[in-house]
Amino acid sequence: MNVTKRVAVSSKGEIAIYKLTNASGASVEVSSLGAGIVSVVVPDANGVMEDVVLGYADAAGYLYDGPCAGKVPGRYANRIAKGQFAVGGKEYQLAINNGPNALHGGPEGFQNQIWNSRVEGDSVVFTHFSPDGDEHYPGNMIVTATYTWSDDCTLSLKLAAVSDADTIVNLTNHTYFNLSGEGTGSVLGHKLWLACSNYVPTDDTLIPTGEIAPVAGTPMDFTTAKTLGEDIKADFPALIYGKGYDNCWLVDGWDGSMKTVAVLTDESTGRVVEVATDQPAAQVYTGNWLAGAPKGKKGCDFADYDAVAIECQGVPDAPNQPQFPTQLLKAGERYDREIVFKFKTL
- CA distances (Å), origin 287, targets 87, 192, 234: 33, 14, 17
Whole-number Å distance between alpha carbons of 177 and 203: 27
Do 290 and 126 form a contact (C-beta atoms < 8 A)? no
CA dihedral 239, 218, 284, 49 (to 10 degrees): -110
3-state class of 318 per DSSP? helix
Residue 104 designated active-site = no
Catalytic residue status for 14: no
The number of residues making up the chain comes to 346
**Which listed residue (174, 190, 274, 338) is catalytic?**
174
- Residues near 295 by Cβ (< 8 Å), separated by ≥ 6? 56, 57, 58, 61, 301
5 neighbors 16 (Cβ within 8 angstroms): yes
Rounded Cα gap, residues 268 and 224, in angstroms: 19
For residue 157, give every residue at least 6 positions away whose Cβ sits within 8 Å of its Cβ, in sequence order, or none.
145, 146, 147, 173, 338, 339, 340, 341
Distance CA(315)–CA(281), nearest Å, equals 6
Quote the distance between the C-alpha of residue 230 and its chain's center: 23
Positions annotated as catalytic residues are 174, 311
